[in-house]
């Protein structure tokens, strides 16, 4: 009986994770379709996401004084600043490097976490992890060699890739900070982060450039309510139910959906060199997430194993 219940729990978690990744993979499409600047998109995302997450937190009984200590608020705010930077940089990358290539470059997140773990916490990495890092670097070199003709701003493709890599770095920073908040409900952390985002971005919003028609507002509302509110509930619900390996495996639905959306919504086509580079980066990311060994388990740096987190688009 217990085995059946556990199997049902895993099935439910898998459905939640698949739904979260399918929805997340469409965010680039909505960002580009909205026609708004990255700052405007993230501001509206926070403005609409905050009340959505607040309603979820109230419904789940998460807003309690025993949870909201000054330490929690401070760390969540620090992580929130990194997440806001992450969103702005990633959204800025979409129009410059294309949704497909920005998403692939952004999937270097696991390697950013590994490197930060070594630098900040003196963590150890295995020889296999170092090999995956080298493979990802080769993939990145291939990705930046060709500038796509569709959706990439002329002369800004490399800048877009740089933005995506910077976004991955800030995600890694946020993940390390969030690791310090173990035991704090993730929906509450997200609420603090998006609330902070409203105040951080308010001075940079171009109010006169906000949409005046229905469809761009529909795109922004979907990002704020669905991609920020619903996805957090699905994602963290899935993480609580699934084994780590299954969570990591299903997370690769996100870049695949993003590339498919880019192809069908905007006609983005990739050169074979870029496809090869994307495949190498995603393969290397899978190797790090699953702990695949390609070399003997010899340690090459000091400290415990690196932290691997879920995506936070």
State residue 312's pLDDT score: 57
Over residues 292-301, the mean pLDDT reads 64
Give me the chain's average pLDDT, please: 85
Q: What is the pTM of this model?
A: 0.85
What is the widest separation between alpha-carbon atoms in the chain?
61
Euclidean distance between CA atoms 176 and 33, whole angstroms: 32
pLDDT tens for residues 66-108? 888 888 899 999 999 999 999 999 999 998 888 988 998 998 8
Euclidean distance between CA atoms 195 and 247, whole angstroms: 27
Cα 167 to Cα 13, 90, 209, distances in angstroms: 27, 5, 24
pLDDT over 90, % of the chain: 39
User: Of 268, 288, 264, 280, whose CA–CA distance to 143 is shortest?
Assistant: 280
Residues near 111 by Cβ (< 8 Å), separated by ≥ 6? 132, 133, 136, 284, 285, 288
The band of 187, judged by pLDDT with boundaries at 50, 70 and 90, is confident
The band of 146, judged by pLDDT with boundaries at 50, 70 and 90, is low
> Is residue 45 within 8 Å of residue 223, measured between CB atoms?
yes
174 token code pair = 């946020």
Q: Partners of 126 in the beta sheet? A: 299
Work out the burial of residue 246: count CB atoms within 10 Å of its CB; fewer than 13 is exposed, 13-18 middle, 19 or more buried: middle
210 token code pair = 């906000």
119 token code pair = 């630098």
pLDDT tens for residues 194-229? 999 999 999 999 999 999 999 999 999 999 999 998
Residues near 150 by Cβ (< 8 Å), separated by ≥ 6? 98, 266, 267, 268, 269
């Amino acid at each position: 009986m217990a085995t059946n219940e556990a199997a049902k729990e895993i099935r439910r978690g898998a459905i939640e994770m698949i739904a979260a990744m399918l929805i997340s993979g469409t965010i680039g499409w909505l960002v580009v379709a909205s026609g708004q600047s990255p700052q405007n998109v993230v501001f509206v995302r926070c403005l609409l996401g905050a009340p959505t997450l607040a309603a979820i937190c109230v419904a789940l009984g998460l807003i309690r004084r025993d949870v909201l200590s000054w330490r929690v608020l401070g760390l969540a705010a620090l992580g929130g600043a990194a997440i806001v930077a992450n969103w702005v940089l990633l959204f800025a990358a979409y129009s410059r490097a294309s949704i497909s290539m920005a998403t692939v470059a952004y999937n270097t997140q696991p390697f950013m976490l590994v490197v930060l773990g070594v630098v900040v916490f003196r963590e150890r990495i295995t020889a296999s992890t170092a090999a995956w890092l080298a493979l990802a670097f080769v993939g990145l070199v291939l990705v930046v060699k060709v500038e796509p003709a569709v959706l990439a701003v002329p002369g800004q493709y490399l800048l877009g890739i740089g933005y995506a890599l910077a976004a991955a770095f800030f995600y890694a920073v946020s993940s390390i900070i969030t690791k310090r908040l173990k035991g704090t409900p993730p929906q509450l952390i997200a609420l603090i982060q998006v609330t902070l985002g409203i105040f951080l971005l308010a001075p940079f919003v171009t109010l006169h450039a906000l949409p005046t028609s229905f469809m761009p507002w529909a795109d922004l509302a979907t990002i704020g309510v669905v991609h920020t509110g619903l996805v957090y509930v699905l994602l963290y619900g899935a993480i609580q139910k699934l084994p780590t390996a299954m969570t990591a495996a299903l997370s690769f639905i996100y870049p695949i959906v993003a590339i498919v959306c880019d192809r069908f919504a905007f006609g983005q086509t990739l050169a074979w060199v870029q496809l090869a580079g994307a495949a190498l980066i995603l393969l290397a990311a899978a190797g790090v997430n699953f702990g695949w060994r390609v070399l003997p388990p010899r340690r090459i740096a000091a400290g415990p194993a690196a932290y691997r987190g879920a995506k936070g688009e």
